[in-house]
Amino acid sequence: MRITVNIPTILRPLTNDQKRIEITALNVLEVIDQIEQQYPGVKEKLITEGQAHRFVNIYVNDNDIRFSDGLSTSLQDGDSITILPSVAGG
Amino acid sequence: MLVIHSKLVEAMIAQSHKDHPIETCGVIAGPEGSNIPLRLIPMRNVAQSKTFFEFDPQQQLQVWREMEAQGEEPVVIYHSHTGSQAYPSRTDVENASEPGAHYVIIPTDNLYDREIRSFRILDGMITEERVCTVSAYHKLQAALEQLIEA
């Protein structure tokens, strides 16, 4: 499956300043693993102990993966993934 | 330095007092690379807490997409402190994820400061900056600010 991934500003120093990356993968975790192979350091910013980080939002098209199958959410050809760090604080 | 229109400051303060004692939050978008805050978007605080805020993830996706489509970026990210001073908390620093943004804090507890304060937060480092409230943006002024910051 050909997937477009939208990279947030804060991770662009790790991805040669690219805003978008094309990846071939079957689910969200595979996408992140593929990005990690090309751009080491990205995965640890997104995943903690096998789960998406609490303060990172990952969307497949318009859908937050928390409300589907999390990192196992499967993908269709042409899907778009958007990664956005939560804006949060105290 | 944050140069910001007085009407935007008034809007942030009004929103903060309306939501008090719950923390309020929002973003002010501006043209990419301009450092000029123009379009204020109040955000839903899904935490609905007196000590914590978090942008509604679904609204955030929609707003971030709008900004990208319009060639904008988040120039200001603001929230209120309803029972503490207007200084970034530990969680503010841990979650600061927009390196280019001015982080503005609006105090709503009269025991503490009354003025809004603005900070840069980068790699866990907090740098306070001056807030210059203006009644109009002038191109020259913006250019000067950029020169001073460079």
In a domain, A37, yes or no: yes
Is 60 exceeded by the pLDDT of residue B140?
no
* A-B contacts (CB, under 8 Å): 70
CATH code, A19: 3.10.20.30
In this prediction, residue B139 has a pLDDT band, given cuts at 50, 70 and 90, of low
ipTM: 0.94
Question: According to the model, what pLDDT value does residue B149 have?
Answer: 66
Measured distance CA(B106)–CA(B125) in Å, rounded: 20
A-contacting residues in B 118-147 (Cβ below 8 Å): none
Q: How many domains does chain B have?
A: 1
How large a percentage of chain A has pLDDT more than 90?
A: 97
Contacts of A85 in chain B (CB under 8 A): 95, 97
Q: Which of the residues in chain A have pLDDT under 70? A: none
Q: Which residues contact A39 (CB under 8 A, 6 or more apart)?
A: A14, A15, A16
Question: According to the model, what pLDDT value does residue B138 have?
Answer: 78
Whether B58 sits inside 8 A of A88 (CB atoms) is: no
Instruction: Give the structural domain span for A73.
Output: 2-85
In a domain, A90, yes or no: no
Question: According to the model, what pLDDT value does residue B143 have?
Answer: 62
Q: Please state, as a whole number, how many other Cβ atoms lie within 10 Å of the Cβ of residue B34.
A: 15
Instruction: Give the structural domain span for B36.
Output: 2-149
Tens of pLDDT along B17-31?
999 999 999 999 999
Q: How many domains does chain A have?
A: 1
Measured distance CA(B124)–CA(B113) in Å, rounded: 23
Residues of B108-130 as b/e, b for ≥16 C-beta within 10 angstroms? Answer: bbeeeeeebbbbbbeeeeeeeee
What residue ranges in B8-68 does DSSP mark as E strands?
25-31, 39-43, 53-54
Question: Does residue B97 sit at the A interface (CB-CB below 8 Å)?
Answer: yes
Is 90 exceeded by the pLDDT of residue B7?
yes
Whether A88 sits inside 8 A of B95 (CB atoms) is: yes
